Structure 1
Amino acid sequence: MIFKSKWHSGFLLFCSSFFPLLPIHAQISGYDVAFPSAYLLGLSSQGVVSTHAMGSIYGNTAFLSFQNKHILDVSSSGSYANPNLSPVYISGAGYVSFSESFGFGFRGKPVYLRSFPSDERYSNYAFQAFANWKLNPYISFALHLGPGVSGRLGGYSSYSWNVSLSTAIQYEQFRLGVLLESPGSYRYDQFLGSERLNEKLPERVLLGLGYKWNEWLEFQLEGSRKFYERTSVRLNESNQYIPYAVRTMYSGNFSIAVGKIESIQLLTGVGREIRMDRTLRGFYTASIGIVGSLFPSWFGEGYFYALSVQRAGLSVPEREGAETRMAFQLQFQF
């Protein structure tokens, strides 16, 4: 009996040494990269090489330097996984074309989101001011800076700085886009009511290549690398580090736009994204959307709409994280 008691005590002591890690796995849900506008959702794109303002204002704003319009934009999105609906996520932006080579604006957009299948929903928003500068007729740069905030069970985090830098290159029918982003680190003082949680979100690098075949047909290809090896999670001063394989941190998409946005344009795209969880899980997306001018005979030129649907997690059951995403967007150019 004495030997058995000592054996049990030793076993419990050994197990307890791993206990600080278990709540991290059990309590903290993962997240996906967000699609902040209906135009980008229709392309399954992050907007790093999108030339139209409905995409570039939430992605690579350096492309806004190649047009001279002022812009106001609002977009809403949500998702569905039987039988649940996510909250409605809102994005908004404004832009002032100050001169032929300089412009500035603001935007608020989701960066990372998670609604299903966990009961714990996650959202990370960035509220940025940005400025872009056209170096010459072919090259433009943009800087985006502002506070970000995240939401989990128990409320919202402290704010952190989200900073990103982008470059846009256009030459004849070709275009190239590069975007570097650091979303920041966030602290929750009352996670699950009484826990202390600190997490650092992954930086990412995006590269895109686009080609305009003619007035009616455009192609774009994007690739991204998320630095998940630089993420960190700390619950009640207990650190967690998972040695993810670097090969799992790459994702991308291929998109096609058919038609003219001044009348009607069809968007479609397929992509591969990465879900941040206990493991980095890759899943595939397919989307379709329509974009056009909003009753130009009534309102005049410069009013645009976009409506898109995306299926995320192709061939994956909804109980394992598949969902249907929907988004609607309005933009006014003047």
Structure 2
Amino acid sequence: MIFKSKWYLAFLLSSICFFPIFPLVAQISGYDVAFPSAYLLGLSSQGVVTTNPMGSLYGNTAFLSNQSKHIIDVSANSSYANPDISPVYISGAGYISFSESIGFGIRGKPVYLRSFPSDERFSNYTFQAFVNWKLNPYITFALHLGPGVSGRLGGYSSYSWNVSFSTAIQYENFRLGILLESPGSYRFDEYLGSEKLKEKLPERAVLGFGYRWNDWLDFQLEGSRKFYEGTNVDLNHKSQYIPYPIRTMYSGNFSLAIGRIESIQLITGVGREIRMDRSLRGFYTASLGVAGSLFPTWFGEGYFYAVSFQRAGISVKESDGAETRGAVQLQFHF
């Protein structure tokens, strides 16, 4: 794990990830957008329009305004690409429902990761405080702000501010979610031991539409745009920029949740993710998971779990970048 034990008690996180990108003096890895919880991994979703707190706590927290209880959550995920297993990446969060219209929370989660590059691993984590407030019964806003840090060969970067803003709009069974995020710029003073590296990570905008058919069936669509034209890598004061085509910066997914979280729920999704390399490559994902109440007759109500698996790179060899991901999650409402 990249991050040390001092972060563990405060819902810590750990990470490493990577992918090849610009062959300068050294080969600097690229990255994928992370799935920070098992529930979101099972949906192949970024959580922009997910109402279940197991997903919205790490995605669009504006949907938490309808949550009247406090929340503690922890999630862990890892990846496999024959014959290697990635480190375990941990996400953690807490939420306080202050009133019917305002809530506060903290969360630590991976933003960009790459586990199986040809040369080095990459990870970017953020530790945010957030607040959400309900404007009226239909519209809620949320603001997230906190430091982020990246890990590459030779150490960790300087910290940078990660800021994101989200909106949730709900009317009867329809809902709309919007998420805007800027992960910041990072500096490595001793990259590979002696190199000077600066990099700006891409901003992203995510739009989602959801519909609850009934108490047992919910579906959602998401579309995402990463602003890779805004990225920049500066190695030893030599700036590198790749003119990626705009059309390659879009991705999206379709997800289904079948059943009720109070008993048992099947979650599944298919999507397209973008991996940053010398070109932006589209990889298709398919996922399946289960979530529900954790032994309510033993522990009582308010304990939930999620277990999910995802195949990233359908019909692609693992030597060409495919991997299998798995995650588990526990959440407690009180």
Distance across 2 between alignment mates of 1:44 and 1:22: 28
Query: How far apart are the structure 1 equivalents of 2:319 and 2:113?
Result: 17
Quote the residue 2:16 is aligned against. none
Cα contact 1:117–1:319 (8 A) shared by 2: no
Q: Is the 8 A contact 1:117 1:320 kept in 2?
A: no
Counterpart amino acid of residue 241 in structure 1 = Y
SS at match of 2:316: coil
What is the aligned-residue RMSD (CA, Å)?
1.1
Question: Deviation string for 1:114-140 (max 9, x for gaps)?
Answer: 011324111000000000000111110
Deviation at 1:24, TM superposition (A): 3.1
Q: Summarize deviations over 1:56-105 as a string: whole Å, max 9, x none.
A: 00000000001211000000000000000100000000000000000000
The aligned residue for residue 211 of structure 1 is 211
Alignment of 1:87-236 (within 5 A): 87-236=87-236
Question: Could you say which residue in structure 2 is the equivalent of 1:18?
Answer: none
Q: Identity of paired residues, percent?
A: 80
Structure 1 residue matching 2:29: 3-state secondary structure: coil
Contact 2:112–2:125, Cα closer than 8 Å, also in 1 = yes
Task: Measure, in 1, the Cα distance between the counterparts of 2:211 and 2:70.
Answer: 25
Counterpart-to-counterpart distance in 1, 2:322 and 2:22: 25
> Cα–Cα, structure 1 residues 264 and 153, in superposed 2: closer, same or farther, change >3 Å?
same
In 2, Cα distance between the equivalents of 1:25 and 1:207? Answer: 38
1:275 — aligned with what? 275
User: Quick check: 2:22–2:29 contact (8 Å CA) kept in 1?
Assistant: no
Aligned length: 314
- Residues 241-297 of structure 1: per-residue CA shift (max 9 Å, x gap): 111100000000000000001110000000001001111001100000000100000
2:80 aligns with 80
Distance 1:94 1:104 in 2: 9
1:237-316 mapped onto 2 (5 Å cutoff)? 237-316=237-316
Shift of 1:154: 0.4
The 3 A distance-change label for structure 1 pair 67 and 244 is: same
Find the residue that maps to 1:265 and give its secondary structure: strand
SS at match of 2:24: helix
Higher helix share: 1
Q: Take 1:122 and 1:143, find their aligned partners in 2: how far apart are those partners?
A: 26
Q: TM-score, normalized by length of structure 2?
A: 0.93
- Asked whether the equivalents of residues 307 and 327 of structure 1 are also in contact (C-alpha less than 8 Å), the reply is yes
Given that 1:187 and 1:199 are in contact with CA atoms closer than 8 Å, whether structure 2 keeps it comes out as yes
Measure, in 2, the Cα distance between the counterparts of 1:24 and 1:212: 50
> What secondary structure is seen at the aligned counterpart in 2 of 1:248?
helix
**Equivalent AA in structure 2 for residue 328 of structure 1:** V
Give runs of aligned pairs for residues 3-22 of structure 1, distance below 5 A. none
Moved segments of 4+, more than 4 Å: none
Q: Which of the two has higher C-alpha Rg?
A: 1
Give secondary structure in 1 for the equivalent of 2:319. Answer: helix
Spell out, residue by residue over 1:25-48, the C-alpha distance to the aligned partner (whole angstroms, 9 max, x if none).
Answer: 851111100000000000000000
Structure 1: segments with no counterpart, 5+ residues: 1-20
- What amino acid sits opposite 1:199 in the alignment? E
In 2, Cα distance between equivalents of 1:249 and 1:192: 29
Contact 1:109 1:127 in 2 (8 A): yes
Contact 2:201 2:232 in 1 (8 A): yes
Q: CA deviation at 1:23?
A: 3.9
For 2:34 and 2:311, locate their aligned partners in 1 and report how far apart those are by CA, in whole Å.
13
Matched residue SS, 1:28: strand
Q: 1:97 to 1:125 in 2, by over 3 A?
A: same
Matched residue SS, 2:301: coil
User: Structure 1 residues 82 and 172, CA, compared in 2 at 3 Å: closer, same or farther?
Assistant: same
